[in-house]
Amino acid sequence: MNPKPTFTDRLRIIFKGILDPIGAFLNRLGLTPNTITLLGLVGTTVGAYFISQGKMTTGAFVLLVSVLVDAFDGTMARLRGEPSDFGGFVDSVSDRYAELITFAGLLYFFLSQENALGVMVTFAAAAGSVLVSYVKARAEGLGFTAKVGILTRVERYLVLIPLLVFNQPFIAALVIAVLGNVTALQRILHVRVQGHIRMQKARENKEYIH
C-alpha cells in the first residue's frame, strides 16, 4: 500500500527553496547534521524548563526556534550527499527525547499547580506521541508502512506551540492526548489491513504452487 504524502512531506517540498540554502550555509560553516540535531534537543530542553516554570509563551517561542533548527539536519545530510542510517537513527531518537522532555516540563508545571487532571492528560499525551512513532517504527521493521494519521510530529507542535503562546497548556495537552492516541490507532488499523492483504497473497501463492 502506498499512502498519500503526509503533511510533513508536503511541508518539506513547499519549503525546500528555503531549507536548501540555509542547510548549504550551515554545511559551509563546518557544522554537521548530528550537531544540528543535538542543538535542537538542547533548545527543546531550555524551552521545557520555561514551561515547567509556568512561562508558557517564552517556552513556546524557544520550542519554535528549536524545531526550526532541527528541521535542517536532514537537509544538510542530503546536500552533503551522505545521508546515513545512523544519522537518521540519531535524529529519530532525538525527536523522541525532545517530545518527552517537553511533556516532562508540562508534567512538572501541573504537579506544581497540584493539577491532577493536567498530570494525567499530559501523561496520555506523552504516551500517544510515543506510540505514534513506535507503531510506525515497528511496522516498518515488519515490512509494512504506517505514515498515516491526523497528528504526526509536526502537527503535534502546530497544536502545542500556538496554545502555549496563549497560555493554554491544558488544552494543548488534551488535544494531543486525544488526537495522538487516535493517530496511533489509525496506524495500527492501517498495518492490520496490510497484514490481511499479505496473508491473502500468501494463501493464493500457496494454492497456486499446489
Residues known to be catalytic = 95
Cα 40–chain centre separation: 13
Provide the Cα torsion 189, 194, 200, 204; round to 10°: 170
Provide the Cα torsion 158, 159, 161, 163; round to 10°: 140
Whether 176 and 118 have beta carbons less than 8 Å apart is answered as no
CA 117/CA 124 separation, integer angstroms: 11
CA 172/CA 98 separation, integer angstroms: 16
Closest CA to 124 of 68, 175, 63: 175
What is the residue whose three cell numbers read 492526548? 177
| Secondary structure letter of residue 54 according to DSSP | T
CA 164/CA 97 separation, integer angstroms: 19
Whether 161 and 113 have beta carbons less than 8 Å apart is answered as no
User: Residue 155 is which amino acid?
Assistant: E
